[in-house]
């Protein structure tokens, strides 16, 4: 799969390079085809667009860096921040005043491309992320002024463009190789960006089209590159968010198995081992059968919970089926009241299911209750889930309110809810979770 993706990408990259090279060759061979327009206003607008695009990319890459701390994202953030500042300091600001210098702007962008070209070679993560990020951005901004002093005395703009093109060539090859190794979506988009901007620089060199405030073919390529850059980084951030959600869901499923089914399977294994060691067959087989039935029941509960959360089974239907299984022996009557106007998200459904399951399990084990009520309803802008019974009740500081209550509180907090418990000897127990609006 990864090989197929890279092969498709490689052929697309070859085609893009061939088209851009053919276009460049055509413009070099036939000077009459070269067109540039002396439109300072349009050039200034484009420079502003490039500045804002680079700034937005720096912000998005910085957000990824703040979340993951990867050096790769750090270098991208620094590179695009420097490019954005160079557009502002050397092109947009002076352009408004009617005094723009191409050499200074190019030198500033060379510094930015140094960071970007180094990004594919970076690995590992950074500690103290915010401190490092702000310090480095400040240092990069300060370095623009020495660059400006050097560049204003350097009149060979072709050499500067050649150096910029060399860095973009390195970035193109490095991002392509990184995509081959990692198959990360962002790498292929950055390869396209490096390719387009490389040919924009080559076009300026070979066609001698280096007028400061003229609009030419190179500006069109840079404009396309900026659009691709935004799309690519946005897709990468969406993919990262999806990966985070998948990771959380895997952790949730693992917790479901650990908290429920695994405990009963362990009991089955323990009793089977006792039977092998010569324990009383009649007593051990009875416990073994009980543990196996509980494991089967727990597996059914887990399937109901997970299927309701994934949308394959309506939540209220799954909950009613659970209550039917729980009360089949007639030892506890459970009344279920669900307000159809109350909506629960997929992440909320599975946690509410487990909270209700834990609450009713406690009712059966500890309360000596004959009747319990489960309510899911609304109160003003809040939604609530309540489990109450007519059992013996207890002092809320009793040890039996420990681990089970902590598990339910953790589940409630994971979906932005708050759990409260009210009970007293002889007055039953009421458990309530208030969910975010």
The more confidently predicted of residues 153 and 434 is: 434
Pure H helices in 183-216: 185-206
Pairing relationship of beta strands 333-338 and 371-379 according to DSSP bridges: parallel
Q: At what angle do helices 129-151 and 102-118 cross, to 10 degrees?
A: 150
Q: Which residues, in sequence order, are CB contacts of 360 under 8 Å at separation 6+?
A: 323, 326, 332, 334, 372, 374, 387
Residue 413 has pLDDT above 70, yes or no: yes
Which of 350, 335, 351 lies closest to 413, judged by CA? 351
CA distance 277 to 286: 16
pLDDT at 399 > cutoff 50: no
Query: Of 121-125, 235-239, 305-309, which one has max mean pLDDT?
Result: 121-125
Give the neighbor-by-neighbor strand order of the sheet with 382-389: 333-338, 371-379, 382-389, 429-435, 418-423
Given a cut of 80, whether residue 92 has pLDDT beyond it is no
* Average confidence (pLDDT) over 396-403: 57
Averaged pLDDT, 333-360: 85
Judge whether residue 335 has pLDDT over 80: yes
Residue 437's nearest CA partner among 421, 423, 417, 409 is 417
Residues whose CB is less than 8 angstroms from the CB of residue 141 and which lie 6 or more positions away in sequence, other chains included: 81, 82, 85
Backbone torsion region of residue 214, taken as left when φ is above 0, otherwise alpha when ψ lies between -120 and 50, otherwise beta: beta
Report the pLDDT averaged over residues 233-243. Answer: 66
Q: Which of residues 120 and 279 earns the better pLDDT score? A: 120
Q: How confident is the model at residue 346 (pLDDT cuts 50, 70, 90)?
A: confident
- The per-residue pLDDT for range 130-169, each reduced to its tens digit, is 777 777 777 766 766 666 666 555 556 788 888 889 999 9
pTM for this entry: 0.56
**What pLDDT was estimated at residue 213?**
46
The residues, ordered by sequence, that sit 6+ positions from 274 with a Cβ below 8 Å of its Cβ are 284
- How many Cα atoms sit within 13 Å of 254 on the Cβ side? 6
Residue 274 CA to residue 288 CA, distance in Å, equals: 10
290 has pLDDT over 70: yes
Ranges 198-207, 239-248, 349-358: which has the least confidence: 239-248
Residue with the larger pLDDT of the pair 44 and 371: 371
Of 106-115, 126-135, 372-381, least confident by mean pLDDT is: 126-135
User: Between vectors from CA 412 to CA 406 and to CA 418, what angle results, nearest 5°?
Assistant: 95
């Amino acid at each position: 799969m990864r090989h197929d993706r890279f092969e498709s990408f490689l052929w697309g990259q070859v085609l893009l390079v061939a088209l851009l090279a053919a276009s460049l060759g055509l413009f070099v061979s036939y000077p009459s085809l070269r067109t540039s327009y002396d439109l300072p206003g349009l050039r200034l607008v484009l420079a502003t667009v490039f500045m804002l695009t680079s700034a937005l990319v720096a912000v998005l890459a910085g957000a990824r860096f703040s979340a993951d701390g990867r050096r790769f994202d750090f270098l991208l953030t620094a590179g695009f921040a420097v490019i954005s500042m160079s557009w502002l300091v050397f092109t947009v600001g002076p352009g408004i005043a009617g005094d723009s210098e191409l050499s200074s702007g190019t030198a500033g962008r060379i510094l930015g491309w140094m960071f970007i070209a180094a990004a594919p070679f970076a690995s590992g993560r950074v500690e103290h992320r915010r401190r490092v990020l702000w310090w480095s951005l400040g240092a990069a901004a300060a370095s623009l002024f020495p660059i400006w002093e050097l560049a204003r005395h350097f009149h060979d703009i072709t050499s500067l463009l050649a150096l910029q093109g060399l860095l973009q060539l390195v970035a193109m090859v490095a991002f392509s190789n990184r995509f081959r190794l990692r198959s990360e979506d962002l790498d292929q988009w950055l390869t396209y960006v490096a390719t387009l901007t490389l040919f924009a620089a080559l076009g300026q060199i070979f066609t001698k089209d280096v007028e400061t405030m003229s609009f030419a073919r190179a500006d069109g390529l840079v404009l396309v590159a900026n659009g691709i850059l935004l799309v690519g980084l946005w897709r990468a951030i969406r993919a990262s968010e999806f990966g985070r959600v998948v990771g959380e869901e895997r952790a949730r499923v693992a917790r479901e198995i650990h908290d429920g089914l695994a405990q009963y399977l362990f009991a089955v294994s323990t009793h089977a081992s006792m039977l092998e060691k010569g324990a009383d067959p009649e007593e051990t087989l009875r416990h073994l059968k009980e543990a196996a039935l509980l494991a089967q029941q727990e597996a059914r509960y887990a399937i109901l919970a997970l299927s309701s959360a994934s949308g394959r089974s309506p939540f209220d239907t799954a909950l009613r089926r659970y209550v039917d299984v729980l009360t089949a022996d007639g030892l506890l009557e459970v009344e279920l009241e669900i307000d159809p106007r109350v909506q629960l998200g997929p992440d909320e459904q599975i946690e509410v299911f487990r909270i209700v399951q834990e609450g009713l399990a406690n009712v059966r084990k500890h309360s000596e209750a004959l009747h319990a009520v489960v309510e899911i309803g609304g109160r003003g802008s809040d939604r609530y889930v309540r489990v109450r019974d007519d059992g013996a009740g207890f002092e809320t500081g009793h040890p039996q309110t420990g681990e089970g209550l902590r598990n339910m509180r953790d589940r409630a907090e994971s979906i932005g809810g708050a759990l409260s418990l009210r009970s007293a000897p002889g007055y039953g127990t009421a458990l309530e979770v208030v969910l975010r609006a």
